[in-house]
Structure 1
Amino acid sequence: MNNTYRLLKDDMDFFLAALSQVRVSVWHVQEDGQHIIDYGGPVEAFSTVFIKIMGKRYFRNTFEFRTQK
């Protein structure tokens, strides 16, 4: 499958996204489809529990984080 996005998964992915200030979008993926939650922005902070984008915190184990290739 050839996606037009890159999925961010580990700390290094989020570190590089924060460093380069790329736009990261937030998605909620369910069995019946994918739903965009936030068109996003640059990563402001991250931990093992959450990602902070544009002043909002999103749980890493609940959402999917993507950047364009």
Structure 2
Amino acid sequence: MDYIYKVLESDMELLAAALSEVQVSVVLKEGTEEVLEPGGQIRAYTAKSVRIRGLSYCRDAHEFRMLPAEPR
């Protein structure tokens, strides 16, 4: 199944995702496209990291993908 997602890169995009409490997945930027976090809400972010489910991920090494809303 193919998924459509938005890659969150800017502070504004991360803020909007955090405030709207959308599900965000975390993927390694280079290499295997390994999904490290299948979906969680952004709890905090800085210029260097993003915190999801109690873990911090480096913004330079990871890609943050906003997942589509679940159909109701």
Give yes or no for TM over 0.5: yes
* C-alpha RMSD of matched pairs (Å): 1.3
Counterpart position of 2:35? 36
Counterpart position of 1:4? 4
Identity of aligned residues (%): 33
Stretches of structure 2 lacking an aligned partner (at least 5 in a row): none
CA distance in 2, matches of 1:66, 1:50: 14
Shift >6 Å, 4+ stretches: none
Instruction: Give the SS at the match of 1:65.
Output: strand
Counterpart position of 1:20? 20
CA distance in 1, matches of 2:29, 2:46: 21
More strand by share: 1
CA distance in 2, matches of 1:47, 1:65: 14
Stretches of structure 1 lacking an aligned partner (at least 5 in a row): none
Aligned residues: 66
CA distance in 2, matches of 1:39, 1:7: 14
TM-score (norm 1): 0.87
